[in-house]
Amino acid sequence: MSAAGPLVEVQDLAKEFLAGASGFMKTRTPIRAVDGVSFSIDRQETLGLVGESGCGKTTTGRLTLRLIEPSSGSVRFAGTDILALEPPALRALRRDMQIVFQDPFGALNPRMTAGELIVEPLVVHGIGDATAHERKLRRLLDMVGLAAHHAGRFPHEFSGGQRQRVCIARTLALDPAFVVCDEAVSALDVSVQAQILNLLHDLKAELGLTYLFISHDLGVVRHISDRVAVMYLGQIVELGTREAIFAAPAHPYTRALLQSVPSRAKGRKSFFTIEGDVPSPAKPPPGCRFHTRCPLVFDRCRVEAPKLRPAVAPGHIAACHLVEPAT
């Protein structure tokens, strides 16, 4: 981690949505999608955010960029409270905070060429003239592994991996310091995933980028992350270095996720699944939210919510009553 300190600091972040009334339901049901999430990301660090679908990962990423407004909590970027910014100041800060979306086809306007899409952020922010845009375009295309002639193509003329390269080039047009990668490789073939992950890794080193990398795939997170945060039902249940999380997971949910990764042993494919269904975020269980599916559950888990506490190694924390404090 960088000695310069955190670039992004998130504290007690929460987001509550109201489910719409329908049929005989006349009241709107509150759904706590993100509930008291805290983390920091150092400069030039990659924090992986992992968990099952619906756990609140994407909402957390968008709250961190203030693409949606939080219900409570704080987000600081380079020391600035972005939730306190008025629209003009927030718009200026957007140059430093960008996102790569999951679906590269859905993220691109089908009526615009790749070149137009990539330079559009420069046009929107009034940066440079047409000549400067052309120079920047050529540099960005080369940076993401595309050729100059690709600038004239439309999104449907690219493969999925090439479209994601266009999205990445567009993200980098404003020279951001912080990038949220929201399931940025999950829509791609495995071989293409590796290429895009390597590209993101190289760009981080070349440009000094800081990433929040959101994924449900532990193998992907392990490849690219410096630290890993594990999320369950709107809350972070474990956070630590990549080595600590994968070598000595402290939370039963993290261990279950690691065991659910397909593996081959003695020539036979094995696959472990977590028992039970994810509870509804509209009515989370009391106590530990994972207790309804945890094989190690005991009475205290059902009534008392565990707090994040030091475990196993310095900087490694987990929210479980069975966690032994670090020595």
3-state secondary structure of 211: strand
- The angle formed by the CA atoms of residues 102, 104 and 105, to the nearest 5 degrees, is 125
Are the C-beta atoms of 63 and 70 separated by less than 8 Å?
Answer: yes
What pLDDT digit, counting tens, does each position of 50-86 carry?
Answer: 998 889 999 999 999 999 999 999 999 999 999 999 9
Across residues 304-327, what is the average pLDDT? 85
Is the pLDDT assigned to residue 263 strictly greater than 90?
no
The one-letter amino acid at 322: L
Strands 210-215 and 46-50: parallel
Q: Identify whether the C-beta of residue 318 lies closer than 8 Å to the C-beta of residue 308.
A: yes
Residues whose CB falls within 8 Å of the CB of residue 163, separated by 6 or more in sequence, listed in order: 104, 105, 108, 155
Q: What is the mean pLDDT of residues 36-57?
A: 95
User: Is residue 2 very low, low, confident or very high in pLDDT (cuts 50, 70, 90)?
Assistant: very low
Give the DSSP H or E segment for 310: strand 309-311
pLDDT in the model for residue 278:
82
pLDDT by residue (tens digit) across 172-212? 999 999 999 999 998 888 889 999 999 999 999 999 999 99
* Angle between helix 130-143 and helix 114-124 axes, rounded to 10 deg: 120
Q: Are 13 and 235 in contact (CB under 8 A)?
A: no
- Look up residue 28 and give its two tokens: 């709107």
Confidence of residue 268 (pLDDT cuts 50, 70, 90): very low
Structure tokens at 324: 């032994």
Q: Write the CA distances from 210 to 8, 15, 68, 204, integer angstroms.
A: 9, 24, 21, 7
Specify whether domain 6-20+28-318 bears CATH 3.90.700.10: no
Q: Residue 260: which pLDDT band, with cuts at 50, 70 and 90? A: confident
Mean pLDDT of the chain: 90
Domain extents in the chain: 6-20+28-318
Count of residues in the chain: 327
pTM of the model: 0.91
- Band the pLDDT of 21: cuts 50, 70, 90: low
pLDDT of 130 > 90? The answer is: yes
Q: What is the pLDDT of residue 270?
A: 44
DSSP state of 52: S
